Structure formats: C-alpha cells, structure tokens
Structure 1
C-alpha cells in the first residue's frame, strides 16, 4: 500500500503527532512521519508511549510506532498509565517473528505472543491490511475508538507499506547555558517542605506532574488542583509525559517533579527531552537516595551527578539547589526567563506516619487536567 496515501488519510483523521523507536517493518511509515509530521524519536518504546500520552493530554491525536520486541518495554506505561488514566493513543507494532514466516531467533517467541500480550493488556487491536480500501476502513474504526478514549493498536506485517524515501533533515544541537554544581552543604529538607515551596510558586498557567509514589500523594495532600497530575504507576515515565504535554501545549508551563529512583529507571528520557528542548518545561528532581514508598531501600543516586547529565543532554540550565530558599529563588527566576531547566535538590527520607492516597480516580484527574489544558467546559469531551 502507498505509504503517503496512508499517511495523508491519518492526517485527515487528525493524527499528525508521531513518536516511536524505529523498526525495519515500519521504516516507510516512520520516514513519512519524519518528512510530513511532528515526529519525536524516543530512547525506548515505553518512553514513546508516555510521550504520546502527554501529547494526547495536550489535545493531539498521537501515534506511537515500535517493533513488537519493544512491546515488552512498553508494558508498564500501557498497563499503569494508558489503562487507568484512559488515555487514547494509536499504535503501530511490527510483527517480527510472525508464525509461519522465517525471522531472526530473537523474534520467535515475541512473534507468537504479540497479539496475546495486547489482549492481556486490554488493548484493542487489528492486523493492518495491505489493501488500501480495507486499511482505510480499519483506520476509521480505530479513530472511533480513540474518540472514546480507548487506545487502538495495529499489528503490521512485513511488506505492508511501499517505500518512502527519508528526506534529509538537519540534526539540532541543544546547548547548556547555565551550569551550577553542588557547592557546600545541603539543607536536606523534607519532601513535603520541598513540594510546599514548589506549589506556592505555581500560577494559573502551570501544570504540575508528580512522579509515582509518595511525591504524588504528598502533592495531593498539600493541594488538590485541576492543574495537578499524580502518577500512580509507569515509574520513570513522568519526564516523557511532560515532554509530550510541553510540545503540544507551549503556552503552558510544565513542571515535572521527579524522584531519584524513577529518573534512574528511565534516564534515556533526559537525552530526548534535552534534544527537543521545550522552553516551557522545568524538570525538578527531589533526591532522597531511597525508594521511599517501598520501605526506604537505597538507590544509587549518591553515585550519579545528575546536574552534569542534564547538562550533557542539552538542558539549557542545570542547577544544583542546596536549600529551600534557593529553590524558591530558582523557581521565580525560571518564571521570568523560562528555558528547559533541570533542578536537583537533595531531600531527607520520609518519616510520615500516615499518608493518604488521592480520592479521585486516575481518569477523573486526567479529565480535569485535559479540561484545564484545552479550555473545555466541565463535562465536555470526558
């Protein structure tokens, strides 16, 4: 089937934001997306799902592209972000190792279980036809699912798309302009104190995305607001989710509040964030050198220079923050100057005797945030 005709039909249906990881079976569709649409190259398939989810929250009809071997990498955000939050994304997964067709040995098992995995994750799917009229009908069905906040994935066989030449495109380079390393002693405030400081500095154009675990739960206790999102799973994906929102909603300030255990889990996301360099994204790391939500087991964050990593990934500003006063000053300065910024604050481990959980269901939090981002009246499009 002609790739450009297929791509134009997707555009007609509103799908013009793509993200993913390359696969030889999908290369022609990926080439079309790079040539004709907004395409974000992700470090891994799980990050791609989270980026697409963020773009969807920002009002885009998002498409994620991946090899089926990467489906295993995307399981966490598919089952603990897409499913509970009811975020619709359209997916295309190559069918490497399709039973009955010779392929490399590493694809054999995944080829047998690809569609079973989609079923297990409650993802609607279909094998994409290589006949144009049937594929067009399938796209219309998929679009209906997306309109009702239900994700839909196509399984793509080898040879489905005709060649599409990748046009030459220049690689950008993001430069670090401000780099402030750790100097002297840190205050080690509590997470609650840090979140209070952050929350006081937000305004009516700020979106706060709190990573999974105690960070989201404490932000909820400090203030439950329509411009907050409390991650309940998909650990490590909050930065990629923030990237998707920041790119699709440049008029808003997107504050990603991360944790050391979560960031370590998907550090490749920083390279992607740094490359695409949204000036409206502020990435704040609250680092207590522990997995606090699961009993305080140590992370390896004490051995990692996050500020230097953010600098090398192309964040415009990468700053070590020593105390709450400096955090407050940095937040106020960022609101004046903007630019992709990484702030690293070391905090103490938690000592909460009792910490509740958000009373609102994840999809209720998401619908409220979508209304905030897209200016829809209460109840519309939910």
Structure 2
C-alpha cells in the first residue's frame, strides 16, 4: 500500500522511532513531511527511549502516538511495555509499527532469523494486538484493522502494525548527506593497516561488511575480527569483555554513531574500568546509514567530551586521514584506554558484499585465534 495512505489511515500527528530498512518508505515520508520536528517526528536513540518519549507525549496531550522500529527493537520495548504502558500500570495507548525482518520463509541475514520467528509471539506475550501488512493488503483492510484497534486504544491498550518486506510503496526520495569527506570503507582500511594482527570487534551494519571485504582485498584471514552482525549498540561492551580477559593483547573496537547512541551507558562502564589495552573508534557520519541514511543526533553532540566525562583517559576527534593515522599510532603507543571519533561521509559502494562465512564460523575462528594470544 502507499505509505501516505497508511499515515492517513492511522491519523496520528506524532511519530518517534529508530529507522529500519523495511520501513524506509515510512521513514522517508516522515523526513520529507516533517524532517526532525519535536512536535511531529523525533528519531530516538533506541526503541525503549522512543517508547518512553511517546508516553510523555500521551501524558501531555492525551493523544495516541506512533512508535516505529525494526523487529530487533522489540527487546528494547519489553520493559516499558510491561511496566509503564500496560493497562495494569498506567494504561498508556500506543501504536507500534514494526518492520518484520527475518519473516519465516523470506531469506534474510542470520541476525534476523530467530527474531523473525518470534516477532509476533513477543507481541502476543506482551498483550499487543497486531495486524500484518503485506504487498497485497488493501487500504480497506487496514482501515478495518484500525477501527478495531480504536476500541483497544480507548481502553489504554497497545497495538501494532507489522510490516512485511515490500509492503509500503510510493516513498518520496530523500537525499541524506553531510559535509564530511572521509569515506567509511577507506577509514576501515586505515584501521586494519594500523591494527596489524590485533583482534577487532566491529559493530553491526555496513562497517562489519566493509571490514570483511577489506580482509578479502588484502588476502588476510577473517580470524582477527568478530563481526557483531546483530545486537546494535553492544560491540564496545563485547570488546570490553574481551579486553579485560586478554590484558596483554591490544583490542580494537570499530563502532558507529547510531550504535553508540543506542546504549551510551556502555561508555560509562568502559570509562570506569579503563582497560589499558582497548582502542575504541567511533565512525561518526551522523546517520543510520545501513538502514537508509536517516539522521542520528550524533552530529549535534560532543562525543569526545562525553568520553572524557565517562572516564576515558584519552579522546580525540579527527576529520582527515593524516590525523587519523597519527592518532591511531598515538593510541597504540600510549597503552591507555583511548577513543578516536572519526568524522565520516554518508555513502557506501553499491556492490558492497556481505560476509560469506556464517556467524558461528566467525565466532569459532575468532575464539581459536584469540586463545593463541
């Protein structure tokens, strides 16, 4: 169905969420219609964040908000769903729009397979009535579902529209860009050159795909890298766990701005523990680029100041390859926890591939390697 028809049928005037490629049509529609507007549309740090934000909107206005997300974000909304929105607590009504990655029978990446299997079951377990929208779903069917939902929303209950692949069409074209000049894949090539045979833990999305392809281009083994294909926002915590238990081995974490924002509390834990053997690199393009390029708030905050406030002994920001190379060498030589924020452009190769090894093979090869260090 046309995305504008969906928005009109829903009839809400406030949306908040975390972008998803399956919902790109909706995200582009909202960006084209509202941009980032505190009264109509906010892209939040994580799905729990936007659920709480939407709850505040309801408390202030009495209206029903919409929260959009990839189905991987269901885990982040379980706590506010159960302990805040639920009708046994505050009975706060909300409409969730959930992109159904990994739907059974539809090929998808490994991190989406199990999540796809339990997407609707999680909604059922949380008492959220849902309606699935596919490519053949008509406007009248969605209208009927929303009419049914109105009665539940009036009682303070929550509902969801689950969006299958290709279900939403006619999205406006929105161009996402910034003024940075460094390309992420080239940044990763410089990190690989500096890291040598040190282990690297990389964040979910295109960064891990580009790291994998850089190893292929260099004719290097993939054993050096743990590719965090899911669990957005947790790669630095994985790196911390590895670094604390391999104190004599330097560990690198290649992170992204959207991932850092999603679970920024991990920076406080990193700063408190101060692993001297960890180098944390945040490639910041101010965008959720892997799922379409919608903006994050990372271009408006000072990550270096945040890292220092969290206890990182060293934190710098670079915007050229000369300074990047210098700071990579400085981080290697000082043997203290270091953060390097790298300002990055938006964009990737059209022919960017995906890892050809399975997630389990990646884990086994990485573990075998680090156990030799």
TM-score (norm 1): 0.50
Q: Which residue of 1 aligns with 2:309?
A: 312
1:255 aligns with 2:252: yes
Q: In the alignment, is the contact (CA less than 8 A) between 1:229 and 1:369 conserved in 2?
A: yes
Partner of 1:380: none
Asked if the contact 2:318/2:342 (under 8 Å) is kept, the reply is yes
Residue in 2 that maps onto 1:194: 187
- In the alignment, structure 1 segments of 5+ residues that lack a partner are 1-45, 47-71, 77-95, 98-104, 107-116, 122-185, 377-382
Equivalent residues in 2 for 1:243-322, closer than 5 Å: 243-322=240-319
8 Å CA contact 2:313, 2:338 repeated in 1: yes
After superposition, what is the alpha-carbon deviation per residue over 1:154-192, rounded to whole angstroms, capped at 9, x for unaligned? Answer: xxxxxxxxxxxxxxxxxxxxxxxxxxxxxxxx8631001
Distance 2:259 2:332 in 1: 26
2:333 equivalent among 309, 332, 336: 336
Q: Aligned to 2:356, which of 359, 367, 370?
A: 359
Distance, in Å, in 1 between the alignment partners of 2:328 and 2:265 is 25
Alignment of 1:370 onto 2:370? no
Residue 302 of structure 1: CA displacement?
1.3
Q: How many residues were matched structurally?
A: 208
1:211 to 180, 193, 203: 203
Residue 74 (structure 1) shift: 9.9
What does residue range 222-241 of structure 1 map to in structure 2 within 5 Å? 222-223=214-215, 224-241=221-238
Whole-angstrom CA distance in 1 between matches of 2:73 and 2:371:
30
User: Alpha-carbon deviation of 1:75?
Assistant: 4.1
Task: Decide whether aligned partners of structure 1 residues 203 and 74 sit closer, same or farther in structure 2, where only a CA change above 3 A counts.
Answer: farther
1:1-382 correspondence runs (5 A): 75=75, 188-204=181-197, 206-223=198-215, 224-375=221-372
RMSD (Å), alpha carbons: 3.1
Flag as ranges the 4+ runs of structure 1 deviating above 6 A. none
Deviation, 1:225, is 2.3
- Is 1:187–1:323's contact at 8 Å kept on the other side of the alignment? no
* Cα distance in 1 for residues equivalent to 2:352 and 2:195: 23
